[in-house]
Amino acid sequence: MDNMKYKEITCEKALNKLKRRVPYSWDLNIYRGCEHGCKYCYAMYSHRYMDSNDYFHDIYVKTNIIEQLERQLSSTRWKKEIINIGGVTDSYQPAEEQYKFMPEILKLLIKYKTPAIISTKSDLILRDYDLIDKLSRITYVNVAATITTMDEKLRKLIEPKGAVSNNRFEMLKAFRKTNASVGLHLMPIIPYLTDSYENIDSLFSRARECDVHYVLPGVLYLRGETRKVFFNFIKTQFPNLYNDLLALYKTGGANKEYKDQLYKMVNELRDKYSLSSSYTKPMKEKLSQREHKQLSFFDS
């Protein structure tokens, strides 16, 4: 486990209310810090508030998260709104093999009929298949995998502890047999590294084979600590790209000309494979089914 440290902490709340509805209102993160070690991780800023500056190795574990979650879900004020699980750090990162919080969280979501979005780069989520299957038959669940490249050599450099890309697709395929909606988060697309036609085409092609409900693409964004870590990585591993990337990223986002060209290609490929990029469509359908069921129950 190299020089990994798990630091146990407690939390006052399991669920945090988001300022903006996007379109979910609540966030749940078991861990702070993430072992997957993605070189573009936008959540590195969140360690600023902790007693550590090593986001990838000092992992804080909220040991009382189950009690706090039950306290919030059992409240009469709880409106069964969608919870985004792992919006900041991956809930199925390696620490979860040891702590096993997710099965308990899923049991509570089942008990309180609460919808959820779970996104991960780990196939450890398959351990909880039966619970997610059960939840998906009660309410809306979305299972999403972020996958950026089919080139394993490159994947190991940019997401060293994430699952093999193909295993992530197999995971999506497995969850397609439940009542959950499943999606590919094709993000971030990294200019000059993962933005080739061949790579994007092969990701869409695998997404089609797995019959996902949607593919959500997004280009790399860099700011603060993420920008520093990313450019250090490029300097060491891909020095020939350093200047071009620096020129492209004068600000946090790639320049407009690049983005216009990229999205033109991405949209063409999305259409080629007849895929949707709306993740709210399955959400609205499932939630309206839920409301319909509840209304029919009251009618009968």
Name the residues that contact ligand SF4, by CB under 6 A: 34, 36-38, 41, 43, 89-90, 121
Q: In the bound complex, what is the minimum distance in angstroms from residue 22's beta carbon to ligand SF4?
A: 17
Sign of the alpha-carbon torsion through 130, 133, 138, 139: positive
Nearer residue to ligand SF4 within complex by CB, 78 or 99: 99
Nearer residue to ligand SF4 within complex by CB, 72 or 120: 120
| Phi, psi for 85 (deg, rounded to 5) | -95, 120
Q: In the bound complex, what is the minimum distance in angstroms from residue 43's beta carbon to ligand SF4?
A: 5
Contact 164, 206 (CB under 8 A): no
Q: In the bound complex, what is the minimum distance in angstroms from residue 120's beta carbon to ligand SF4?
A: 7
Contact 73, 105 (CB under 8 A): no
Q: In whole angstroms, what separates CA 299 from the centre of its chain?
A: 38
Nearer residue to ligand SF4 within complex by CB, 41 or 184: 41
Report residue 221 as tokens.
């964004």
Nearer residue to ligand SF4 within complex by CB, 28 or 38: 38
Nearer residue to ligand SF4 within complex by CB, 37 or 253: 37
Q: In the bound complex, what is the minimum distance in angstroms from residue 40's beta carbon to ligand SF4?
A: 7
Contacts of 107 (CB under 8 A, 6+ apart): 131
Q: Which residue, among 117, 118, 114, has the nearest Cα to 81 in the 3D structure? A: 114
Nearer residue to ligand SF4 within complex by CB, 91 or 139: 91
Q: In the bound complex, what is the minimum distance in angstroms from residue 162's beta carbon to ligand SF4?
A: 6
DSSP count for the chain of H helices, then E strands:
11, 10
| Stated length of the chain | 300
Report residue 225 as tokens.
């600590």
β-pair partners for 61: 8, 31
Q: In the bound complex, what is the minimum distance in angstroms from residue 63's beta carbon to ligand SF4?
A: 20
